[in-house]
Amino acid sequence: MSDAASPPGFEDAFHKAAERHERIWVFISMVLLSLLLAGTLFFVVLDYGVVVKTDGYRIDPSAGATAPLADAGLVRTGPNAYSVHMLAHLWAWTPSPLHMPQGAEITFHVTSADVLHGFEVQGTTINMTAVPGITGAVTYTFAHPGTYNIICNEFCGIEHQAMIGRIIVDPATPS
């Protein structure tokens, strides 16, 4: 901008004004980005229910006390609600495969018999850590029928990558 026709002092004033505008707009864009981030977070947590709840009760992993619970499979707890005790162990999920009806509210009580495992159901928001000695709970409703993979997302040893379970959501029968 070294135009010979510019009045003296014009360039300095121009740059100062430009810098002030830049600062203001950088600030505004940062505020907007922060609001967007916070808004998205609220939306995801409140609308999609990305909240992990913990039962808070302890269970003795060495006693094998969790196995009978897991063997029980899906237990009806309400008109359209079920619960299931899901046991992680080297290197599988029990029970699996696990059938459940479409559209029902399913509460998973998840624990581990040995080391830390990750309980993640692909294509859903279910993602929690299976901790030996502690059970955690997560509730989910499968809106669509199909086969869902339970994958372990916590490295747990040599067969970690093969630790896959199956959830089969059966189509709701029209009434």
Binding site for ligand CUA (CB under 6 A): 91, 117, 152, 154-156, 160, 163
Cβ atoms of 71 and 105 closer than 8 Å: no
Minimum CB distance to ligand CUA, residue 33 (Å): 36
Alpha carbon of 101 to those of 17, 22, 105, 148, 171: distances in Å? 65, 57, 9, 13, 6
Minimum CB distance to ligand CUA, residue 89 (Å): 8
Closest CB to ligand CUA among 61 and 104? Answer: 61
Closest CB to ligand CUA among 104 and 130? Answer: 130
CA 135, CA 84: separation in Å to the nearest integer?
12
**Is residue 70 classed as helix, strand or coil in its secondary structure?**
helix
Closest CB to ligand CUA among 22 and 159? Answer: 159
Minimum CB distance to ligand CUA, residue 163 (Å): 4
